[in-house]
């Protein structure tokens, strides 16, 4: 193998698995260290810069970072990254003085369709640069699906108000109750750019016999949640069936439990394991005495002269074809009817753009989705950009934020007369953490603690009030314990070939057998010859150039604890622990700045 080029920004970025997996590339270990030091406001600002909604995401994020967390490959569970983010939000001081100020306007006008996470991210990036940002939304308050679809017992209004407020206070003009009904009319208002962040607002229908007749007691999940959110709906029947296995279904069933549903069941077509809902959301539903019945396909709504009485299901089983694809086939058992008073249908969401006329210069593909460039988020109309669920279908908030940053950069470049396809490289800082012979500026003593559980409110109290938040969040002590579980994967092991005397000290001390000195070879061959097996070929090998004996140093990045013992035991300083901090390019940060790092 060729010597690893550690100067390429992506190499060390990939080693920070959580940050690499985060769509917005939040510097996770950096803010976790600050939490451990009690610097909650600093930790919050790092998050705020990168993911815009730390308090909201700290409660609701789908956490792509956690399955990626290196700790999960070393022991059973990853670091509770998401809930630590909430800790930063919960314990921070007033940070308003640290936010950007509304700046002198540059005369350019940008319109936003929808006031959800994608639009607000773009507005936050653009408003401080002087753009006139006008956000149109049909709802009375900003937040989009974060406000309408996520139940208050998971995400209180106060958190949404605070974090949307930080953005609107940058001088963003929020036009509430103003639904955009015509793209043509919006284009005619001669905005310099338009960002469409209107989400995936339509719940998928379940068109089976009895749907029309029983319509009064069959509700579309996201519409029903939205109605509950605004206080239009405040009760439901005693017996409720929720159809669907995603996170919306979990929100529906838990909401139903709080509005009078005593016997609430979730019924899914697939097996329990294959459900789309995040494992922790399923756990929370089960904890609230909501059974999840699987391998049942709804075939008809049963009604008594228009009054819903139950749902009939066909029993199915999973069969796998030669290619390993799963098919649900009837099991042959008799159909099962489950009695109920109400049904909530949460079988998916769709995009809908009835308000975009065909002659706006915005082309749609065969699935009726706008043709959007995945890097710049521009549509076929060079002035119209899409992001969030509106661009590529339903995903999570963190994706909307990440796409928002990219779209904001595109809009800024477009309106600065630059080529939007040229994307500036991220800013990277690498600095040694050595403070003394065996002293590092980070805590390298690895904690053996298992993942700490987030305290929950007592179930009896929680189920009584739909606005009572269930999760209480970590207290300071639990947060400190959990923060210490972080392995500091951003503190990188950096090897200097010229200093190495091949004494084997690093090989002997490495607790994870990551380091091997051997003859060079092709990657597959080298992976066979490592000191410990290499089960994850997606994890890079760090290979040195030729050493004095003609061998090379090979380090498997896979399960390195970043404990720094290789560097402590190295007599010549050939190993050093260096903190790698990458800041993704956002609108207005095209040139490297002399920004002061928080740590």
**What region, left, alpha or beta, does residue 40 occupy, with left being phi > 0 and alpha being psi -120 to 50 degrees?**
alpha
Name the residue nearer to other proteins (CB basis): 74 or 286.
Answer: 74
Please give the helix or strand (H or E) that residue 126 lies within, else none: helix 117-126
> Any contact of residue 448 with other proteins (CB under 8 A)?
yes
The residue range among 3-11, 397-405, 488-496, 511-519 that interacts with other proteins, by the rule CB under 8 A, is 511-519
φ/ψ of residue 10, rounded to 5: -75, -25
Other Cβ atoms closer than 10 A to 537:
11
Residues 177-196 that bind other proteins (CB under 8 A): none
Q: Distances in Å between the alpha carbon of 492 and those of 36, 316, 575, 581? A: 19, 50, 10, 10
Among 533, 546, 592, 595, binds other proteins (CB under 8 A): 533
Q: In this structure, what token pair is assigned to residue 409?
A: 């950069």
Please give the sequence-ordered ranges of beta strands (E in DSSP) within 335-391, or none if there are none.
336-339, 342-345, 349-350, 384-386
- Give the Cα separation of 399 and 387 in Å (integer): 9
Kindly state the number of chain residues that form the binding site for other proteins, as judged by CB under 8 A: 35
CA angle 201, 205, 206 (to 5 degrees): 155
* Selected range binding other proteins among 71-79, 154-162, 396-404, 580-588, rule: CB under 8 A: 71-79
Determine if 434 is a binding residue for other proteins (CB under 8 A).
no
Q: How far is the CB of 490 from other proteins (least distance, A)?
A: 18
Per rule CB under 8 A, is residue 547 in the interface with other proteins?
no
Q: Which residue, 279 or 535, has its beta carbon nearer to other proteins?
A: 535
Q: Which is nearer to other proteins, 89 or 514 (CB)?
A: 514
94 CB-contact burial (10 Å; exposed 0-12 / middle 13-18 / buried 19+): exposed
- Where residue 520 falls (left for φ over 0; alpha for ψ -120 to 50; beta otherwise) is beta
User: Cβ(534)–Cβ(496) under 8 Å?
Assistant: no
Nearest by Cα to 34 from 483, 439, 416, 360: 483
Select from 122-130, 242-250, 537-545, 565-573 the region that touches other proteins (CB under 8 A). 565-573
Kindly state whether residue 208 participates in binding other proteins, applying the rule CB under 8 A. no
Near other proteins by CB under 8 A: residue from 569, 585, 588, 599: 569
CB nearer to other proteins: pick between 273 and 445: 445
Q: How far is the CB of 482 from other proteins (least distance, A)?
A: 17
Q: Which is nearer to other proteins, 362 or 567 (CB)?
A: 567
Q: Tell me: does residue 568 bind other proteins (CB under 8 A).
A: yes
Least gap, CB of 523 to other proteins (angstroms)? 18
When asked if residue 499 is in the footprint of other proteins (CB under 8 A), the reply is no
CB of 259 to other proteins, least distance (A): 46
Phi, psi of 516 (to 5 degrees): -135, 135
Q: Are 163 and 53 in contact (CB under 8 A)?
A: yes
Binders of other proteins among residues 94 to 153 (CB under 8 A) are: none
Asked if 444 is part of the footprint of other proteins (rule: CB under 8 A), the reply reads yes
Positions in the binding site for other proteins (CB under 8 A): 73-75, 438, 444-446, 448, 501-505, 507-509, 511-514, 532-535, 548-549, 559, 561, 563, 565, 568-572
């Amino acid at each position: 193998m060729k010597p690893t080029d550690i100067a390429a920004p992506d190499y060390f970025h990939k080693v920070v698995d959580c940050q690499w997996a985060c769509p917005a590339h939040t510097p996770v270990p950096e803010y976790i260290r600050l939490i451990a030091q009690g610097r909650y406001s600093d930790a919050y600002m790092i998050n705020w810069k990168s993911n815009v909604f730390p308090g909201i995401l700290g409660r609701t994020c789908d956490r792509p970072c956690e399955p990626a967390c290196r700790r999960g490959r070393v022991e059973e569970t990853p670091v509770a990254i998401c809930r630590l983010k909430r800790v930063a939000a919960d314990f921070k001081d007033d940070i308003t003085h640290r936010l950007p100020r509304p700046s002198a306007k540059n005369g350019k006008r940008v319109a936003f369709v929808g006031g959800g996470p994608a639009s607000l991210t773009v507005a936050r990036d653009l408003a401080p640069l002087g753009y006139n940002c006008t956000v149109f939304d049909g709802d009375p308050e900003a937040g989009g699906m974060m406000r309408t679809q996520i139940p208050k017992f998971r995400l209180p209004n106060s958190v949404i108000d605070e974090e949307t407020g930080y953005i609107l206070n940058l001088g963003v003009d929020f036009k509430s109750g103003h639904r955009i009904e015509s793209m043509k009319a919006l284009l005619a208002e001669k905005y310099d750019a338009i960002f469409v962040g209107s989400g995936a607002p339509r719940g998928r229908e379940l068109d089976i016999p009895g749907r029309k007749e029983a319509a009064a007691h069959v509700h579309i999940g996201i519409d029903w949640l939205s109605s509950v959110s605004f206080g239009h709906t405040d009760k439901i029947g005693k017996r409720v069936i929720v159809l669907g296995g995603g996170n919306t279904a979990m929100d529906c069933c838990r909401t139903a439990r709080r509005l009078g549903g005593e016997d609430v069941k979730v019924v899914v077509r697939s097996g329990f394991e294959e459900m789309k809902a995040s494992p922790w959301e399923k756990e929370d539903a089960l904890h609230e005495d909501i059974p999840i019945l699987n391998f049942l396909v709804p075939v008809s709504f049963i009604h008594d002269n228009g009054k819903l009485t139950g749902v009939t299901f066909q029993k199915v089983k999973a069969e796998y074809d030669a290619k390993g694809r799963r098919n649900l086939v009837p099991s042959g058992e008799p159909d099962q009817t489950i009695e109920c008073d109400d049904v909530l249908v949460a079988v998916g969401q769709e995009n809908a753009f009835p308000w975009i006329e065909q002659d706006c210069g915005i082309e749609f593909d065969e699935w009726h989705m706008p043709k959007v460039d995945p890097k710049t988020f521009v549509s076929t109309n060079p002035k119209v950009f899409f992001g969030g669920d509106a661009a590529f279908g339903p995903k999570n908030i963190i994706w909307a934020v990440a796409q928002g940053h990219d779209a904001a950069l595109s809009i800024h470049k477009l309106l600065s007369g630059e080529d939007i396809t040229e994307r500036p490289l991220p800013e990277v800082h690498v600095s040694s953490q050595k403070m003394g012979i065996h002293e590092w500026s980070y805590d390298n003593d690895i904690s053996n603690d298992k993942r700490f559980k987030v305290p929950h409110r007592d179930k009896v109290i929680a189920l009584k009030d739909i606005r009572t938040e269930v999760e209480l969040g970590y207290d300071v002590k639990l947060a400190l314990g959990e923060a210490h579980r972080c392995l500091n994967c951003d503190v990188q092991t950096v090897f200097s070939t010229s200093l190495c005397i091949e004494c084997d000290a690093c090989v002997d001390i490495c607790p994870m057998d990551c380091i091997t000195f051997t003859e060079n070879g092709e990657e597959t061959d080298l992976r066979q010859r490592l000191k410990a097996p290499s089960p994850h070929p997606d994890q890079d090998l760090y290979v040195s150039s030729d050493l004095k004996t003609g061998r090379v140093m090979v380090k498997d990045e896979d399960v390195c604890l970043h404990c720094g013992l290789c560097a402590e035991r190295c007599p010549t300083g050939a190993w050093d622990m260096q903190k790698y901090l990458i800041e993704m390019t956002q609108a207005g940060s095209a040139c490297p700045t002399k920004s002061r790092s928080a740590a």
